[in-house]
């Protein structure tokens, strides 16, 4: 696996050693970033942005953000083998000062969100929250609701969900789907908080 574009373009990053972790394919990552950078449906400057990478695995999405000049990425992952590879990848491209890692379960971390936890560590909300839970995870609406309730995302921020293409999601009314794309068995959903 390689970094696709930006200042670390072409650098190989370490892959997961087992099938528990499901990294984003290069084509899917490239399509996501094309949408984030070029779509007229959103207003987002990836440069100097703050990213929350949930279920981050070995970090391919967040590291691609840093290569494209994002300011900071917070990684959250509970699998110890994935965390080891994530740390190796961060060290390889020398972005330790632009990253934080939380070795814990996503719901547990967000539920206990306070001023002392990860949202306030850089005193900023997030421009992008990327969520790549296991395909078998069924309560995605609860995750989106927690992100909104805990005030983790900026007003014009983007929530990106990676799901199985056959999954049917029911979201709370405050989450507006602005784009949905299928790639093989994967589906990428781009959404924003809808302010009424």
Return the domain boundaries, the chain.
26-193
pLDDT tens per residue across span 17-69: 766 666 778 889 999 999 999 999 998 999 999 999 999 999 999 999 999 99
Note the pLDDT of residue 80.
93
Note the pLDDT of residue 22.
67
* Burial grade of 125 (CB within 10 A; 0-12, 13-18, 19 or more): middle
CA dihedral 102→167→21→63, nearest 10 degrees, is: -60
Q: How far apart are CA 179 and CA 189, in angstroms?
A: 6
pLDDT tens per residue across span 133-155: 988 887 888 999 999 888 899 98
DSSP letter string over 57-100?
TT-HHHHHHHHTT-SEEEEEE--HHHHHHHHHHHHHTT-GGGEE
Structure tokens at 96: 């330790």
Burial 85-109 (b: 16+ CB within 10 A, else e): bbbebbeebebeebbebbeeebeeb
Top-level CATH class of 26-193? alpha beta
Count how many residues are written for the chain.
Answer: 196
pTM: 0.91
DSSP letter string over 142-155?
HHHHHHHHTT-EEE
Note the pLDDT of residue 26.
84
Give the pairing type, strands 153-164 and 186-193. Answer: antiparallel
Structure tokens at 110: 């967000």
């Amino acid at each position: 696996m390689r970094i696709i574009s930006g200042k670390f373009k072409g650098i190989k990053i370490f892959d997961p050693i087992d099938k528990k972790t499901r990294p984003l394919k290069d084509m899917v990552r490239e399509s996501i970033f094309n949408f984030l950078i070029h779509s007229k449906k959103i207003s987002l400057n990836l440069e100097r942005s703050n990213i929350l990478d949930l279920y981050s695995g070995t970090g391919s999405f967040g590291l691609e953000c840093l290569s494209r000049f994002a300011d900071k990425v917070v990684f959250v992952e509970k699998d110890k083998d994935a965390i080891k590879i994530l740390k190796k990848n961060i060290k390889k491209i020398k972005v330790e000062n632009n990253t934080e890692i939380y070795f814990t379960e996503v719901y547990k971390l967000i539920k206990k969100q306070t001023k002392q936890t990860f949202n306030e560590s850089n005193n900023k909300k997030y421009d992008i929250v990327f969520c790549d839970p296991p395909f078998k995870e069924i309560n995605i609406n609860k995750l989106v609701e927690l992100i909104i309730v805990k005030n983790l995302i900026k007003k014009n921020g983007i929530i990106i969900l990676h799901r199985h293409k056959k999954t049917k999601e029911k979201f709370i009314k405050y989450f507006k789907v602005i784009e949905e794309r299928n790639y093989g068995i994967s589906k990428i959903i781009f959404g924003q908080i809808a302010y009424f």
